[in-house]
Structure 1
Amino acid sequence: TVKAFFREGNYGRGQMEDLLKIYAYHSPKIKFEFIDPDKNPGLVKRYEIAQDGTTIFECGDEENRITASTEEDITNAIIKVTREKKKTVYFLEGHGEASIEESGDDGYSFAKDELGKMGYEVKKISLALSESFPQDCSLLVVPGPKKDLLPNELDTISRYLKGGGRVFFMVDPETAPGLPPFFAGLGFKLENDLVVDTISRLFGGDYFMPVVSDYEDHEITRKFRYASFFPYARSVELVEPKPEGVNSNILAKTSPNSWAERQLELKTAKYDKDKDRPGPISIAAVATIKAEELKKEDPAAKPEETKPEEKIEPASPAVRPDGRIAVFGDSDFVSNRYYNLSGNGNLFLNTVNWLSEESDLISIQPKTSSPRTIQLTPSQGRLIFFVSVIILPLLLLVLGLSVWLRRRSL
């Protein structure tokens, strides 16, 4: 249920009412009512309303309140009160990864905040001295390691995946050279290359920022209608034949005008049909990994009391969920600098929701509003200054003088 405390003259009431009607139309479970704080002091005291325009969302024992009238805030509030259990996303650190606490261009604070809005708890983790994951880990994100993971860390992640765990790898070009052999065993092929896309110029980027506007059919991208940009990305292909127990799929490919540049030592990128690989190039893929069976032990059974002639029935295996993994050939696309660029942030959230089996969140993501900024070079700034401050006023002055002189001569 939704209780909206709005005075009759509150300008935000109409917007909130329109949005709630849309939500109620799509879900009969949503019931809402508007309450005038001036006419209902008892409810104001009961719910401790301190600000006009407060909306309270209730579901069972859960409660969340907002003071804004936007689609994003309403969606986030519904998500928070309807989640049965708060899932935890861990970001790996210790290999040069950017931090979720970093608010600069290279950090992941935007991604952390958006995950929090969707009801996730976000934490940091180091696996160097650990052989297992915390019990509350729903997903491990590996955001662009600059150095290789230690062998024991890879073993821990491998066991986690085969036990039904979920991992999201983002691996940049020319980093962590020890990871491709690890991925090969999971059905992915990562080459030492760099994706070049000439069509990126049409979207205002350079050749090293491949753009993806057409996606493969998958639950993550089925209703996705945004272009995504991947600054400085590598290719992510599938191993054929697929390893046993692995079901892998390509998620995103670049345009046919792109190629995978394999001659990274060159100063300029130029397509060489004998050495480079022509597009479209895959830069993101996902897979499900069949979990290993875990046999249940019968604590009441005592081996010493078993008679030789008795037939012992094998223990029934415990059912484990399949592991899920996503591998992207770039980590910058979800950094603070590019998170709000077109569909980058939404693609990241869709992937997280699929990995953590929150598929219902894939279709109801909030429309995040963010400041629109234009990045100008010094020369562009000077040109705009001279045109708008000097040239245009000067033209108007000349035009005005000419009109005045003409009228005076009549």
Structure 2
Amino acid sequence: MFSSTEDSFDAEGLLTSAIRSVTGGSEKYLYTLSGHGESELSAPISQAMEKAGFTMATVTPLLTGTIPEDCDLLLVNGPTADLSQEEYTLLEDYLSGGGQMVFLCSDSEENFPNWSALLESYGLTLVDGYIADEERYYPQFGSLFAIAGAISTGTEVTQGMSEQDLTLLTNSRGFTQQEDTDAVITPVLTTSSHASAVTLDGQEVPGTYLLAAVSERAGTDGATGRLTVLGSNSLIDGDILSSYPNLVNETLFLNLLTAGFEDGSNLSIPAKSLAVTYNTIPNPGLWSALYLVVLPLVILVTGLIVWWKRRRQ
């Protein structure tokens, strides 16, 4: 005898996607880069991207020697190996010709010179180590490296979001903005001023870091290339998305994908999870600790003293 269970309900999302496909704008072709140990996209994110109107395929530049002409957006999800010099030139030409690329760092501290050089050409320097934030971390994860990036409101990417919306990134890399760049950089997620870049050998460099940003730079023919970077591909981790639906990780990521298109809009409605979900609470700070720990202890001790005095009377 067989039985089946459902872990989500997606009628609203599928219906909205069907309406968009009939009344929406032109279809967009999104290629995921392969050949560098990139991570597979989780099922929730793949489904959300399809509902947002993207037709997806994979490209391996080392084999094809080119980026497809119909590539509207190139997605690089957590590479664990460096680019070859030929691939670096291909991607640089693609961006300078008006292409769009979204780059998510992997959970690795290895140094990839060609990837770093590509980011630096768009005014962003990848710092050594993982980012810890003493002010914006989640205590329930038991780590300063599980952080809630502060949303930079008022941008095209974060339109409709507020500073109270929560994101979660684990073992994220950080970026600094170059002062002498000709690129226009828009911060999307940042740390607090109490953050540090911590290397595996224990070195700490305090500072305020970018966790996600959009960089635009004019190419040689006048076209504007758009490079979006995120410090960790945990932003779209399937386990995080399904366990913490109160986060805006998925919405933010889809906004990053669609914001570069004139007729782009995030119409992807996530499936309603039927599984057990968990609340996420950022670092409560001293006031919350006072109300949650100190005050109850004071009341308890005061009650014990009053009880003891009355017992002795």
Partner in structure 2 of residue 174 of structure 1: 109
1:313-365 Cα deviation digits (max 9, x unpaired): xxxxxxx6421110111112212122344111111100000134444x14x54
1:6-45 correspondence runs (5 A): none
Give the Cα–Cα distance (whole angstroms) in 1 for the partners of residues 10 and 180 of structure 2. Answer: 52
Counterpart secondary structure, 1:284: strand
Counterpart amino acid of residue 260 in structure 2: L
Q: Does 1:124 align with 2:65?
A: no
Counterpart amino acid of residue 331 in structure 1: N
Contact 1:145–1:175, Cα closer than 8 Å, also in 2: no
Partner in structure 2 of residue 80 of structure 1: 21
Instruction: After TM superposition, give the deviation of residue 171 of structure 1 in Å.
Output: 1.4
Q: Does 1:194 align with 2:134?
A: no
Give the Cα–Cα distance (whole angstroms) in 2 for the partners of residues 356 and 98 of structure 1. Answer: 25
Contact 2:76–2:104, Cα closer than 8 Å, also in 1: yes
Contact 1:189–1:237, Cα closer than 8 Å, also in 2: yes
Contact 1:89–1:123, Cα closer than 8 Å, also in 2: yes
Q: Does 1:254 align with 2:191?
A: yes
Q: TM-score, normalised by structure 2?
A: 0.76
Q: Does 1:234 align with 2:173?
A: yes
Counterpart amino acid of residue 224 in structure 1: M
Counterpart amino acid of residue 197 in structure 2: A
Contact 1:247–1:289, Cα closer than 8 Å, also in 2: yes
Using the aligned pairs only, state the percent identity.
23
Partner in structure 1 of residue 92 of structure 2: 158
- Which of 61, 67, 78 aligns to 1:144? It is 78
Give the Cα–Cα distance (whole angstroms) in 2 for the partners of residues 233 and 322 of structure 1. Answer: 28
Partner in structure 1 of residue 306 of structure 2: none
Counterpart amino acid of residue 156 in structure 2: E
Contact 1:147–1:176, Cα closer than 8 Å, also in 2: no
Contact 1:171–1:329, Cα closer than 8 Å, also in 2: yes
Q: Does 1:206 align with 2:143?
A: yes
Give the Cα–Cα distance (whole angstroms) in 2 for the partners of residues 97 and 367 of structure 1. Answer: 24
Q: Aligned in 2, Cα 1:205/1:347: closer, same or farther, shift over 3 Å?
A: farther
Instruction: After TM superposition, give the deviation of residue 367 of structure 1 in Å.
Output: 4.7
Instruction: After TM superposition, give the deviation of residue 234 of structure 1 in Å.
Output: 0.8
**What is the aligned length?**
262
- Which of 204, 210, 218 aligns to 1:282? It is 210
Give the Cα–Cα distance (whole angstroms) in 2 for the partners of residues 220 and 99 of structure 1. Answer: 24
Instruction: After TM superposition, give the deviation of residue 79 of structure 1 in Å.
Output: 1.6
Give the Cα–Cα distance (whole angstroms) in 2 for the partners of residues 116 and 372 of structure 1. Answer: 23
Give the Cα–Cα distance (whole angstroms) in 1 for the partners of residues 223 and 274 of structure 2. Answer: 41
Q: Does 1:224 align with 2:158?
A: no
Partner in structure 2 of residue 339 of structure 1: 241
Instruction: After TM superposition, give the deviation of residue 202 of structure 1 in Å.
Output: 4.4
Q: Aligned in 2, Cα 1:260/1:371: closer, same or farther, shift over 3 Å?
A: farther
Q: Structure 1 unaligned segments of length 5 or more: list them.
A: 1-67, 101-107, 267-271, 294-319, 376-410
Partner in structure 2 of residue 373 of structure 1: 276
User: What's the RMSD between the two structures over aligned residues?
Assistant: 2.4
1:360-382 Cα deviation digits (max 9, x unpaired): x14x542541234358xxxxxxx
1:291-312 Cα deviation digits (max 9, x unpaired): 322xxxxxxxxxxxxxxxxxxx
Structure ID, larger Rg: 1
Q: Aligned in 2, Cα 1:369/1:257: closer, same or farther, shift over 3 Å?
A: farther
Contact 1:288–1:325, Cα closer than 8 Å, also in 2: yes
Q: Which gives a bigger RCO, structure 1 or 2 (Cα 8 Å, sep 6+)?
A: 2
Q: Does 1:215 align with 2:152?
A: yes
Instruction: After TM superposition, give the deviation of residue 126 of structure 1 in Å.
Output: 0.5
Contact 1:236–1:328, Cα closer than 8 Å, also in 2: no
Instruction: After TM superposition, give the deviation of residue 185 of structure 1 in Å.
Output: 1.4
Q: Structure 2 unaligned segments of length 5 or more: list them.
A: 1-8, 279-313
Partner in structure 2 of residue 61 of structure 1: none
Counterpart amino acid of residue 82 in structure 1: T
Instruction: After TM superposition, give the deviation of residue 99 of structure 1 in Å.
Output: 2.0
Give the Cα–Cα distance (whole angstroms) in 2 for the partners of residues 239 and 327 of structure 1. Answer: 15
Partner in structure 1 of residue 3 of structure 2: none
